[in-house]
Amino acid sequence: MTTRGSRQYWPHRRAARLLPRMRSLPGRKGEPRLSNLVAYKAGMSNAVMIDDSESPSKQQEVSRACTVLEVPATEVYGIRFYKRDPLTGYRAAAGELYNKLIAQKLKISPKANEDKLHDFKAKLAEYSDVTALLVAYPKTTNAEQNKPERFESSIDGKTIEEKFDFAASNLGKEVRPDSVFKQGEYIDISSVTKGKGWQGIIKRYGAARLPHKSTQKIRHIGTHGDMGLAKVMYTVPQPGQMGYNYRTERNKRILRMGGKDAVSSINPTSGFKHYGNARNVFMVIDGSIPGPARRLVRVRESLGNLNAKGIKEPKVIEIAG
């Protein structure tokens, strides 16, 4: 009998890259806005706030563990257009255009730039969707990463014309997290967990050690399965990669967002462990999130319906600094 090692995620393989993919997107029909951003995990802190939930401590002063994320300077460097195959239903990228200055800085040779905006707008009926291409500059944070992080974000909106106009108006401009999310909003966070390398079944699954008289091996599994079964089932604990997996935490609440002028209020006196002091725009998230300090984190609007009843501004008294 094992005590750890979830069968919900199988197989336990290493993440291919640090930037998690967005496999599911909400596709809201409200005001046009981006659906996700990237940030870096600075560390954990403590928030004193007034409990606005329906718990027994309602309207009382409570202390909550929270995570501080530092958001790097982020710009919209391009727009991507998609077409949907009428037979298979799959969509594929059908065209892109870039901001000239940012493309030159990123050493991208674009086939089209913002001079072609009117041409693409005239052909919007041919496309099924429009997304924004963004680039984050980690040098503006304390993450000790030089290479810019490029990623894609879907755009909320009622029509493709609305999405295109929003992307075109923000092309080449900086994006701040307060233009995407609100304080008190519930979000989903995806990242890569702490990697622990190749581990045996005792650390990986919490299996019991074998009796010292029963076999020459102690830290192994007792049996690999039925004699009549011509294979080893995936449910049998085996050694392998532990950690460094993609995981998504759902319905995490934003307690506070702030700019460079307010970042000193959330920095500890000695800095965050293994990170140092945050220097840029920050977000404070209720609870913990996967991954160590300096881990790249992807923040997206929640797939759940906790925001449907309205977003309540959290009454945060103090964040330990």
Which among 37, 8, 26 has a CA at the least distance from the CA of 178?
37
User: Would you say 276 and 45 are in contact if contact means Cβ atoms under 8 Å apart?
Assistant: no
Say how many C-beta atoms besides its own lie within 10 A of residue 92's C-beta.
Answer: 10
Cα(107)–Cα(110) distance, integer angstroms: 9
Q: What is the mean pLDDT of the chain?
A: 91
Cα(268)–Cα(277) distance, integer angstroms: 8
Model pLDDT for residues 134-175, shown as the tens digit of each residue: 999 999 999 989 999 999 999 999 899 999 999 999 999 999
What is the domain partition of the chain in residue ranges?
33-194+244-319
User: Would you say 131 and 155 are in contact if contact means Cβ atoms under 8 Å apart?
Assistant: yes
Cα(44)–Cα(180) distance, integer angstroms: 23
* E-assigned strand segments in the chain: 33-34, 36-50, 61-71, 73-84, 91-98, 129-137, 149-156, 174-175, 186-192, 195-199, 240-243, 246-258, 281-286, 296-301, 315-319
Q: Which two tokens stand for residue 272?
A: 């965050």
Model pLDDT for residues 30-74, shown as the tens digit of each residue: 889 999 999 999 999 999 999 998 889 999 999 999 999 999 999
- Return the CATH superfamily for domain 33-194+244-319: Translation factors (2.40.30.10)
User: Would you say 280 and 175 are in contact if contact means Cβ atoms under 8 Å apart?
Assistant: no
In the block, tokens 């990669």 appear at: 241
The per-residue pLDDT for 300 is 93
User: Would you say 281 and 299 are in contact if contact means Cβ atoms under 8 Å apart?
Assistant: no
The per-residue pLDDT for 1 is 57
Q: Which two tokens stand for residue 308?
A: 């449907």
- In which residue ranges of the chain is pLDDT below 50? none
3-state secondary structure of 168: helix
User: Would you say 245 and 10 are in contact if contact means Cβ atoms under 8 Å apart?
Assistant: no
In the block, tokens 């790097």 appear at: 72
The per-residue pLDDT for 58 is 92
The per-residue pLDDT for 234 is 85
pTM of the model: 0.92
The per-residue pLDDT for 26 is 75
